[in-house]
Structure 1
């Protein structure tokens, strides 16, 4: 399935269709949107703490993880599908330099390249990343994963996959079950998560065809849980 087949709506239209979305103390609920592919149609997204673990959860109208991008056979122009939790965390909280952009956890699938830590393979499985996002009008949805300029030596976490992007590849337990995707992260690795704000997004990303900045764009936004990326969710202990 091609990302372009999923466009169908601008960010403004997506926001309009989700204005009925509501936030409780810790979760964000959204009305189903029949114009959105069911596997990416968020109906609820949550981040809670349970003991010494933070649990990121998104529930969709269909089967989570069912739809994946088609392989293109090359890195340039290849596609990425993602379940994303934008947060109020600082990039310094996840091992990069401070104040570099919007920190988000993303569970991704991309069949044309590997970006696991230490040279590992991950192109054929859904897997988690920390990413730092920033606005860029050159991208279809106006956001990119922040590039690392050639010659610069920024602070990076130990599981940085040695690519010129502010992206991390930790091996957090990630589970797809029915309509739900869950990621479990030790609180010791993200101590700033308690009380943080968050949102939920499903999106398609694309590698720039000429491999120049921006290298990795958010090309399509399928659904925003809040409707407007206002991060209304709050991370609280699970009841």
Structure 2
């Protein structure tokens, strides 16, 4: 059954996540779509890179949201690594919310940097997540940028009114694994940073007003409770 991510769980995770140096291993769940049923989540420092990896029970990326033909009300499906990294790590202002790396697919719009096209491929984003009950009680959204403001954003910000970045990191979906390779120089020292794994659906507000992009469904959470039990190691 699909689940909504609660504010209470997210807040508790950031405050009390244990720091154990291991991957997050998850039991299989027949009720979850196989391509989103998380088995193992890893984030490791490897040479000059930080490699984000999630293994699922089925074929990674096989299931995608159906196109609606319009931006308003359209869907985004994602593989997500919530982290304890500060939002300033990738070029946003500090303290803006939960910084997460996400690999997404959305067939109804493009949000690549510099006006590029990315609606037909799985691709990576940094997103800043914050709670907003307008998305549903205790649910999270990608943080909106209020009209008339000019916040600090990364160079590859796609120009949408959200705290989202569209870098071109090498991203692969092969057999049962999703993998993103991030240059360590982008985010600095990461050893000891905590992480978790989530598969989820997001939805664009039909009215195109804030909140613009809400997490509408949670398919699976690697830890079961978003406690960020993983710890980046070399």
TM-score in terms of structure 1 length: 0.90
Match of residue 200 from structure 1 = 197
Matched, 1:113 2:109: yes
Query: How many Å apart are 1:56 and its aligned residue?
Result: 0.2
What does residue 99 of structure 2 align with?
103
The equivalent residue for 1:3 is none
Q: Secondary structure at the match of 1:138?
A: helix
Query: Could you tell me how far apart the structure 1 residues matched to 2:54 and 2:167 are?
Result: 19
Asked whether the 8 Å contact 1:207–1:217 carries over to 2, the reply is: yes
Correspondent of 2:118 among 112, 122, 130 = 122
Paired residues for 1:150-165 under 5 Å:
150-165=147-162
Q: 2:178 and 2:4 mapped to 1: Cα distance? A: 25
Deviations 1:33-84 (A, max 9, x none): 0000000000100000110000000000000000000000000000000000
Q: Does the residue aligned with 1:185 lie in a helix, a strand or coil? A: strand
| Deviation per residue, 1:78-113 (Å, 9 max, x gap) | 000000000000001110000000000000000000
Q: Contact 1:32/1:61 (CA < 8 Å) preserved in 2?
A: yes
2:226 is the counterpart of 1:226:
no
TM-score (norm 2): 0.92
CA distance, structure 2, for counterparts of residue 75 and residue 10 of structure 1: 23
List, as ranges, runs of 4+ consecutive aligned residues in structure 1 with deviation greater than 6 Å.
none
Counterpart contact for 1:26–1:47, Cα < 8 Å: no
**Distance in 2, Cα, partners of 1:182 & 1:132:** 20
Equivalent residue of 2:133, what SS? Answer: coil
Which of 143, 147, 151 is the equivalent residue of 2:140? Answer: 143
**How big is the shift at 1:137?**
1.3
Alignment check: 8 A CA contact 1:96 1:155 kept: yes
Q: Where does the alignment leave 5 or more consecutive residues of structure 2 unmatched?
A: 10-18
1:216 corresponds in structure 2 to 213
| Shift in alpha-carbon separation, 1:100–1:9, aligned structure 2, 3 A | closer
- Aligned pair partner of 1:134 in 130, 138, 152: 130
Q: Which residue of 1 aligns with 2:36?
A: 40
Give per-residue Cα distances to partners, 1:154-190, cap 9 Å, x unaligned.
Answer: 0010000000000000000001110000000110001
Q: Map of 1:22-61 to 2, 5 A cutoff?
A: 25-61=21-57
Measure, in 1, the Cα distance between the counterparts of 2:99 and 2:71: 24
Structure 1 residues 210 and 10: alpha-carbon distance in aligned structure 2, compared to 1, 3 A threshold: closer
Measured against aligned partners, the alpha-carbon deviations of 1:126-177 in whole angstroms (never above 9, x if no partner) come to: 0000000001112147000000000001001000000000000000000111
Counterpart CA distance in 2 for 1:63 and 1:174 is 15
Instruction: Give per-residue Cα distances to partners, 1:186-235, cap 9 Å, x unaligned.
Output: 10001142220000000000000001110000000000000111101000
